[in-house]
Amino acid sequence: PDIIAPGTYIVAAVPINHAKYKNDVRYKAITGTSMATPHVAGVVALLKAIHPDWSPAMIQSAIMTTASTVDNTNHPIKDFDGKPATPFMMGAGHIQPNLAADPGLVYDLKMKDYLNFLCVHGRNDTENELSAGLIEKPFKCPKSYNLLNFNYPSITVPNLQKTVTVRRIVKNVGTPGLYKVNVIEPEGISLTVKPKTLLFNKVGEKKSFELRLKAKKVGVSKDYVFGKLVWSDGKHNVASPIVVKAV
Question: pLDDT-derived band of residue 123, with 50, 70 and 90 as boundaries?
Answer: low
What is the pLDDT, as a whole number, of residue 22?
60
Taking every pair of Cα atoms in the chain, the longest distance, rounded to a whole number of angstroms, is 64
Whether 105 shows a pLDDT value over 90: the answer reads yes
Around Cβ 148, how many Cβ atoms within 10 Å? 17
Whether 125 shows a pLDDT value over 90: the answer reads no
Residue 239 lies in a domain: yes
DSSP secondary structure letter of residue 228: E
Average pLDDT of every residue of the chain: 90
What are residue 231's DSSP bridge partners?
181, 238
Tell me the pairing of strands 10-13 and 177-184.
unpaired
Same domain, 145 and 157: yes
Q: Sheet with 206-215: list strands edge to edge.
A: 105-106, 163-172, 206-215, 189-194
What are residue 214's DSSP bridge partners?
163, 190
Residue 78 lies in a domain: yes
Average pLDDT value for residue range 66-79: 95
Domain termination residue (choose one: 49, 74, 101)? 101
What are residue 10's DSSP bridge partners?
30
Q: Cα–Cα distance between 175 and 178 in angstroms, integer? A: 10
Q: What CATH number does residue 113 fall under?
A: 2.60.40.2310
User: Who contacts 191 (Cβ-Cβ below 8 Å, separation ≥6)?
Assistant: 183, 185, 211, 212, 213, 227, 229, 242
Identify the domain containing residue 235 by its residue range: 105-246
What is the pLDDT, as a whole number, of residue 154?
97
Which of 223 and 25 is assigned the larger pLDDT?
223
Tell me the pairing of strands 206-215 and 163-172.
antiparallel
Q: Which parts of the chain fold into alpha helices (H)?
A: 33-50, 56-65, 87-90, 97-100, 111-120, 125-132
What is the pLDDT, as a whole number, of residue 61?
98
Q: Cα–Cα distance between 143 and 145 in angstroms, integer? A: 7
Q: Cα–Cα distance between 4 and 90 in angstroms, integer? A: 6
Please name which of 196, 159, 173, 152 lies closest in space to residue 60, comparing C-alpha atoms.
152
Whether 132 shows a pLDDT value over 90: the answer reads no
Asked whether 71 and 90 are in contact (CB, 8 A), the reply is: no
- Give the global pTM: 0.89
Same domain, 146 and 236: yes
Residue 1 lies in a domain: no
Question: pLDDT-derived band of residue 133, with 50, 70 and 90 as boundaries?
Answer: low
pLDDT, tens digit, for every residue of 22-70? 656 778 898 999 899 999 999 999 999 999 999 999 999 999 999 999 9
Domain termination residue (choose one: 101, 134, 153)? 101
Q: Which amino acid is at 173?
A: V
What are residue 226's DSSP bridge partners?
243
Whether 131 shows a pLDDT value over 80: the answer reads no
Same domain, 97 and 58: yes
Average pLDDT value for residue range 194-222: 89
What is the pLDDT, as a whole number, of residue 98?
97
Residue 5 lies in a domain: no
What is the pLDDT, as a whole number, of residue 157?
94
Residue 2 lies in a domain: no
What is the pLDDT, as a whole number, of residue 25?
75
Domain termination residue (choose one: 101, 133, 163)? 101
Same domain, 96 and 116: no
Q: Cα–Cα distance between 47 and 126 in angstroms, integer? A: 34
Same domain, 96 and 167: no
Same domain, 122 and 88: no
Residue 159 lies in a domain: yes
